Amino acid sequence: MFNLNEIFILVGFIQIALVAFMQWQIYISSVIKTFSVGSYFLAAFLLAAGYVNGEPYLMVLGFLTAGIRAWFIPGFLSRMLRRDRWRARELKPVLGIASTIILSLLFAVFGYVIYTWTMYDYVHSAFGAIPVALFLQGAFLIISRSNPITQLIGYLVMENALYLFGSLFPELPFVVEAGVVLDVIGTVMISGVIVRLKEEPAQNTEVEDSTRREDFTELRG
Amino acid sequence: MLLILSILQLLYVVLLAPLAAGVLAKTEELLESKKGPSIFQTYYDLAKLFRKESLVPGVALPFFRIAPYLTFAFYLLLTLVLPIITAFPLTFGPVVDFMGGGLVFGAAAAIKKLAALDSRNNYSHLGTSRAASIGALSEPIMLLIFIMLGVISHTNNPYVINNILQTSGAWYGSLVHWFVTIAFFMVLIVETGKLPIESHSMGELGMIDQSMEMEYSGRELALYKWGSYMKHFLLMNVFMNVLAVPFLVPMALSIPAVLVYALINFVKILVLVVVFALLNESVSKYRLFKIFDYVAVTFVFAFLAALVFFTTRPGGGF
Amino acid sequence: MIWIYYLPVALSGIGGLLCLIPKTRFEEDVSIVASFATLGASILIAFMPDASSFGLYVDGFSKLMQLMISAVYVLTVIFSIHYLDHIENKLFQTNLYFLLLNWFVVSMFFTVMVDNVGLLWVGVEATTVTSALLIATDNNEVAVEATWRYIVIVSTGLTISLLATIFIYGGFHTLSLNALLQAPQATKIVSVGALLGIIGYGTKGGIFPMHTWLPDAHGRAPAPVSAMFSAVLLPVALYTIVRFVQIVPLESVRNFAVVLGSLSVIVASLMAFSQRYYKRMFAYSSIENMGVALIGIALGGNAFIGSVIIILTHAFAKSAAFFLTGNVLAGYGTSAIKDVKGVSKTMPLTGYSLFFASLAVTGAPPFGTFFGELLIMTRMISVYGAWFTILIASFLVVAFIGINYRIVRMVFSEPDGQYKHLDDNATVPIIGLAVALSITFLTPVIYMFLRGVAVK
C-alpha cells in the first residue's frame, strides 16, 4: 500500500526544506512551531514504517516522537519565551538572513556530496544522504544564530536527523532509543534553566550582546 | 487549421487577460466585505485610457513612445508559442522554447526599464532599480526551474513537458516536480507583483513595477497596462498548464475539445486568481530588503529539486 | 553475587535522592556516607571476577575507573562541604548541589559498567545533563555563558557519537560490548563509525577539534566541580574511546586517534603557555594530559598501561590542584595569575601543595604522569620514529615550563596584601596528592588489572 522509500524521501526533504524555512524565520516562536511540524512528520514516518512492516515497536516509537519531540518539547520551549511570544526574536543575526538560507542549502548539498563520497559504499542506500544533509543543516543553524532557543532547536534538528538515519537500519534496541529520548528531554530541561538565566540580565540591562562586555574577557583565549 | 487555432488563442489571451485582473480586484474587495468594482472595470479603464490624450516628457527620446508598443508586441508573440488552450504546438510553436520564452519576457522587461530610465522621473528610477535588483536574483532561479523541467522531460519545449506530466503519474507525483512547482509559484508572486512582495496602493515606498510607468498617459499607458495583464495571464497559464494542473489540455487536434478546454482553462485561471486574492488579503508586505530572503527560499526550493533528483534516481549517488 | 556490581550506582543514586530531605546539613552527611559506601563497594568489586552478564561489562579497566571515580567522589564531597560556604550568590540550595553531584557520579558509574554501546552514549549524555547546572553554581553571567557553551558544544559533539553508534550497529547488528569485542572482522562501515566515535566522545574528553568548551567550563565552575570534571569526567569519555579502539583495532582508526591526540597536546601546550588565569591554565593542562593518554590508548600495548597510569595520577593530582585553586580563589578573590602573590606565605599548606600538584600534572619525575609518558614515548619511537616523538615531547616540555613558571611565581613571591580572608584548608588536596604519588608504586597492581584488557 505504501512505498516506505518514497515516504522516507518525502519526509526527509520536507525536513530539509523546513530547516531552510527556520533559517528564514527571525521570530523564535515560528522557529519552534516549524520544528514541531517537522517532528510530526517524523512521527508520521515512524508510524507508517511500523504499519507497513507490522512492527508495533516502531509505532510506539512514533507515538513517543509525536508526544515528546513534536508536542512536549516545543510546548516547553515556547513557555521559555519570557517576553511576549510574538516579540521574541533573533536580535542580531551573525550573517544576513538571505546568505544563511543559501549557506544552509549549501550545507545540505555538502552533506550529500560527503555522504556519496565516503559512506555510500558502506551503507548501500542513497537515501542516507538526506539525514546527513539534515545533520549538517542543524549544525549550521546552531552556528548561525545567537539566540539560545534557536541553538537548542538546531541541536534537536540534529537529533531528528539521527533518528531518521537510525530508521535506515534494522531496528535499534528499544532500551537505547528510550534512553536517547530521556537524555534529550533532560538536555532540553537543563537548557531551559540556563536560557532563563541567560535572558534575565539581558532583560535588566537591555544589552543585546552581553558577550562583548568586560567581564567576559576571561572566556577569550 | 493550426493557424485558426493560433488566432483563437491570441484572441483568447488578449481579450480575457483584463477579465482575470478584474476578477482579482473584485474578489479582493469581496473578501474585505466590500461591494467592489465590476469585474469589467479593467476594460472600462482601458477604453477610457485609449480615448485620452498622450503626454510625453520633453526630455524623453522617441524610444520612450515606442516602448509600450514593443513590449505589447513581445507579449503577443509569446501568446502564440505557449501551451494555453492546446497541448500540441500551433503554427508558431517551434519559434522559441522555454529558454527563448524567458528571453522574450526578459527583453520586454528590459525595454520597459530603459523607457522608465528615459522618462527622467525619480520614482521611475527608483522602481527600475528595485525591479532590476530583484530580477537579477529571480531570473537565475527561473533558469534553474527551466533546467529542472529539462531534467524531467529531456527538452525545453513547454508542450513536451506538459505532455509528460499529463501522462506520467510518476513524474507528476515526484518530489522533483513539486519542488519545482513551489519554486515557480514563489517566482510567480514576484513576477506578477502580488503580496507579500508588492502592494498596489498609491504609496511610493513599496512600489516596484507600478512606478516604472508613472510618466505614461493615454494610449501608451493603456498598452502598458494591457501588456502587463497579458504577462500575468501568460505566466499564470504556464504555471497552471505546465506545472501545477497539466491535465485535460487536449493533446490531439480536435476543435470541440479545444473549445471546451478554453472554458476549463479559464476556470483554472480563476482558481489561481482566488488563491492570489486570498494571499493578498492575508499577508502583509515585506520590507524591501526582506524580499531577498524570500528569493533565497525560492532558490532553495528550486535547488532542492535537483538534490531530490540526484538522491532518487535509480542507483542513486554520483 | 552479581548484585554487588550494581552497588556503586545504587548507593550514590540513593544518596542523591536522600539529599532531597529538607533538613539542615543532612545532605552533607548523606553524601559523605554514600561516597564512602561507594568507595567500599568499588574496592569490593576490584577483588571480584570480571562480569559480563545481566547488562554488565566489568573488566579490569572498568574496575580501575570505578575505584578512581569513587575515590575522587569521596574527596570532592568532603571538600565541597567546606568550599560551598565561600560561594555567596548560589544558583540553588546546597541540597540540590549535592543531589546533582551524586547523580553526576551515578551517570559516570553507569557509563563504565554497561554492556551496550548505545547505553554508553546514554550514560555520557546523562553526565552532561547532570553536570551542566553544577558549572553555574556560582551564579553570574559569565558562568551561565560557560555553562551554555558546555551544553551546546558537548551535546552537538555527542550527536556525532550517536551517529557512530548507529554505524557500529549497522556493521555488527548488535550493540553489546561482549559480542562486539568477540566479533570476527571489522568492516569498513564500522571503521567510519569508530572514527566518528573518537571525534564525538573526544568532545567530551577535551580532544582537539571540539575542546573549546573545556577551559570555559573548568575556569568558571566552582573548584570541586572543576576537580570532578577534570579528574573523572574526561577519563570516562576516554573510557568510551578505549572501547571503540578495542572494537575496531584498525591501523586507520589508531592513526586518526594519534593525530587528534597530538593536536590536542600541541594546542593545549601553546594555550597553557599563554594563559592569564590559573584555572584556565590547569584546564588546558587537562587537555594536554588527555591528549597524551589518547595517544597511548591508540598505540596499545605498554603505551595503554602508560595511559591508564597517566589517567589515574592525573585524576588525583588534578583534583588536588583544582581544590587548591579554589582556596586561592576564595582567599584572593581573583582568578588572574598576576594578582595572586606569595601563596606560600599567606597560605603555606595550600601554597606548597599547589606547587607539588602543578609538578604532578605536568609530568615531573616522582609522579606517575612521568612514567606514563615515558612508556608512551618508548612505544611511540618504535611506531612513529624519533622525530615525531621529540616533537610531542618538546610540546610537553613547553607546557611543563609554562605552567610551573606561573605557579612558582604565584607561590614563591612576596605577598602584596591583596587578599580577603585566608582559609588554609588543604587536608583533602594533600590526601589527593599522596594518592597520586602512591600510584607510581602501584604500577604492578595496575598491570595486573589490565592484563586481560590490553588493547590489541
Of B290, B294, B300, the CB nearest to A105: B300
Mean pLDDT over each residue of chain A, to the nearest integer: 83
Name which of B300, B303, B308, B310 to mutate to probe chain A: the one with the most chain A Cβ atoms within 10 A of its Cβ. B300
Helices (H), B154-217: 158-167, 169-173, 175-191
Instruction: Tell me which chain C residues have a C-beta less than 8 angstroms from the C-beta of A173.
Output: 116, 118, 175
The mean-pLDDT minimum among B100-109, B206-215, C59-68 falls in: B206-215
Helices (H), chain A: 4-24, 28-53, 56-65, 73-80, 97-114, 120-123, 129-144, 148-166, 174-205
Of B300, B311, B317, the CB nearest to A101: B300
**Do A198 and C148 lie within an 8 Å CB cutoff?**
yes
Instruction: Tell me which chain C residues have a C-beta less than 8 angstroms from the C-beta of A163.
Output: none
d(CA B245, CA B259) in angstroms, rounded, equals: 18
Chain C's closest residue to A214, CA to CA, is C142
**Do A190 and C133 lie within an 8 Å CB cutoff?**
yes
d(CA A221, CA A82) in angstroms, rounded, equals: 32
More confident residue, A88 or B161: B161
Buried b (16+ CB within 10 A) or exposed e, C90-119: ebeebbbbbbbbbbbbbbbbbbbbbbbbbb
DSSP three-state, residue C250: coil
Which residues, 6 or more positions from C44, have their beta carbon under 8 angstroms from its beta carbon?
Answer: C4, C7
Contact residues of A toward B, CB < 8 A: 9-10, 13, 16-17, 20-21, 24, 97-99, 101-102, 104-105, 108-109, 112, 116, 120, 125-127, 129-130, 133
Pair C317, C285: CB distance under 8 Å: no
The dihedral over CA atoms of A41, A42, A48, A49, expressed in degrees to the nearest 10, equals 160
Neighbours of chain B (3+ CB pairs under 8 A): A
Min CA distance, A220 vs chain C (Å)?
A: 9
Q: Which residues partner with A27 through β-bridges? A: A89
More confident residue, A169 or A41: A41
d(CA B145, CA B99) in angstroms, rounded, equals: 10
Task: Say how many CB pairs under 8 Å bridge A and B.
Answer: 69
d(CA C64, CA C353) in angstroms, rounded, equals: 25
> H or E stretch including B257?
helix B255-282
Name which of C162, C203, C214 to mutate to probe chain A: the one with the most chain A Cβ atoms within 10 A of its Cβ. C162
d(CA A6, CA A119) in angstroms, rounded, equals: 21
d(CA C426, CA C353) in angstroms, rounded, equals: 8
**Do C274 and A197 lie within an 8 Å CB cutoff?**
no
A135-169 confidence digits (pLDDT tens): 999 999 998 988 888 999 999 999 899 888 888 77
Q: Report which DSSP code applies to B213.
A: G
The dihedral over CA atoms of C359, C363, C365, C369, expressed in degrees to the nearest 10, equals 120
DSSP three-state, residue A27: strand
Instruction: Tell me which chain B residues have a C-beta less than 8 angstroms from the C-beta of A127.
Output: 311, 316
**CA-CA distances (angstroms) from residue B96 to B2, B36, B148, B238, C304?**
17, 40, 18, 15, 73
A175 in contact with C at a CB cutoff of 8 Å?
Answer: yes
d(CA B119, CA B97) in angstroms, rounded, equals: 33
pLDDT (0 to 100) of residue C453: 73
B310 in contact with A at a CB cutoff of 8 Å?
Answer: yes
Q: Which residues partner with C56 through β-bridges? A: C114
- All three cell numbers of B43, joined, read 476594460
| Mean pLDDT calculated for residue range B32-42 | 92
> H or E stretch including B295?
helix B291-312
Neighbours of chain A (3+ CB pairs under 8 A): B, C
| Spatial CA neighbour of C424 closest among C355, C357, C350, C325 | C350
pLDDT (0 to 100) of residue A91: 73
Pair C399, C268: CB distance under 8 Å: yes
Longest dimension (CA), chain B: 66
ipTM of this complex: 0.87
C11-70 confidence digits (pLDDT tens): 999 999 998 888 888 888 899 999 999 999 999 999 888 888 888 888 889 999 999 999
Longest dimension (CA), chain C: 66
d(CA B124, CA B135) in angstroms, rounded, equals: 16
**Residue at A163: amino acid letter:** Y
Instruction: Tell me which chain C residues have a C-beta less than 8 angstroms from the C-beta of A187.
Output: 125, 128-129, 151, 155
**Do A194 and C271 lie within an 8 Å CB cutoff?**
no
| Mean pLDDT calculated for residue range B155-183 | 90
Buried b (16+ CB within 10 A) or exposed e, A59-68: bbbbeebbeb
| Mean pLDDT calculated for residue range C212-222 | 90
Extents of the domains making up chain A:
4-203
Instruction: Tell me which chain A residues have a C-beta less than 8 angstroms from the C-beta of B310.
Output: 112
Buried b (16+ CB within 10 A) or exposed e, B197-219: bbbeeeeeebbbbbbbbbbbebb
| pLDDT surpassing 80 at residue C265 | yes
| Mean pLDDT calculated for residue range A5-12 | 87
Instruction: Tell me which chain A residues have a C-beta less than 8 angstroms from the C-beta of C91.
Output: 197
Which residues, 6 or more positions from A151, have their beta carbon under 8 angstroms from its beta carbon?
Answer: A141, A142, A145, C152
Which residues, 6 or more positions from A166, have their beta carbon under 8 angstroms from its beta carbon?
Answer: A172, A177, C166
Which residues, 6 or more positions from B242, have their beta carbon under 8 angstroms from its beta carbon?
Answer: B83, B149, B158, B161, B162, B165
pLDDT (0 to 100) of residue C106: 94
Q: C135: burial class by Cβ within 10 Å (0-12, 13-18, 19+)? A: buried
Name which of C111, C160, C166, C339 to mutate to probe chain A: the one with the most chain A Cβ atoms within 10 A of its Cβ. C166
Buried b (16+ CB within 10 A) or exposed e, A73-106: bbebbbebbeeeeeebbbeebeeebbebbbbbbe
**Residue at C83: amino acid letter:** Y
Instruction: Tell me which chain A residues have a C-beta less than 8 angstroms from the C-beta of B301.
Output: 17
d(CA B147, CA B306) in angstroms, rounded, equals: 9
| pLDDT surpassing 80 at residue C149 | yes
Min CA distance, C252 vs chain A (Å)?
A: 14
Band (pLDDT 50/70/90 cuts) for residue A204 is low
pLDDT (0 to 100) of residue B318: 38
Instruction: Tell me which chain C residues have a C-beta less than 8 angstroms from the C-beta of A169.
Output: 166, 169-170
The mean-pLDDT minimum among A85-89, B85-89, B293-297, C376-380 falls in: A85-89
Q: Do chains B and C touch (3 or more CB pairs under 8 A)?
A: no
Please measure the distance between the N-terminal and C-terminal CA atoms of chain C and give it in whole angstroms: 30
Instruction: Tell me which chain B residues have a C-beta less than 8 angstroms from the C-beta of A102.
Output: 296, 299-300
B296 in contact with A at a CB cutoff of 8 Å?
Answer: yes
Pair B55, B119: CB distance under 8 Å: no
pLDDT (0 to 100) of residue A206: 47
Vertex C281: Cα angle to C277 and C283 (nearest 5):
120
- All three cell numbers of C326, joined, read 579554589
Q: Cis omega (within 30 of 0) on the bond before C209?
A: no
Extents of the domains making up chain B:
2-312
Band (pLDDT 50/70/90 cuts) for residue B202 is low
- All three cell numbers of C328, joined, read 586561592
d(CA C234, CA C65) in angstroms, rounded, equals: 11
Name which of B304, B309, B313, B318 to mutate to probe chain A: the one with the most chain A Cβ atoms within 10 A of its Cβ. B304
pLDDT (0 to 100) of residue B313: 72
| Spatial CA neighbour of C429 closest among C343, C314, C317 | C317
Neighbours of chain C (3+ CB pairs under 8 A): A
Mean pLDDT over each residue of chain C, to the nearest integer: 89
pLDDT (0 to 100) of residue A82: 66
pLDDT (0 to 100) of residue C228: 92
DSSP three-state, residue A2: coil
Instruction: Tell me which chain A residues have a C-beta less than 8 angstroms from the C-beta of B308.
Output: 9, 13
pTM, entire model = 0.89
pLDDT (0 to 100) of residue B204: 64
d(CA C289, CA C291) in angstroms, rounded, equals: 5
Of B297, B307, B318, the CB nearest to A101: B297
| Mean pLDDT calculated for residue range C7-13 | 91
Of A17, A101, A120, the CB nearest to B317: A120
Min CA distance, C386 vs chain A (Å)?
A: 32
| Mean pLDDT calculated for residue range B2-24 | 93
Q: Report which DSSP code applies to A89.
A: B
Q: How many CB atoms lie within 10 A of CB A44?
A: 17
pLDDT (0 to 100) of residue A1: 47
Name which of A190, A191, A217 to mutate to probe chain C: the one with the most chain C Cβ atoms within 10 A of its Cβ. A190
Q: How many CB atoms lie within 10 A of CB A1?
A: 5
A214 in contact with C at a CB cutoff of 8 Å?
Answer: no
| pLDDT surpassing 80 at residue C448 | yes
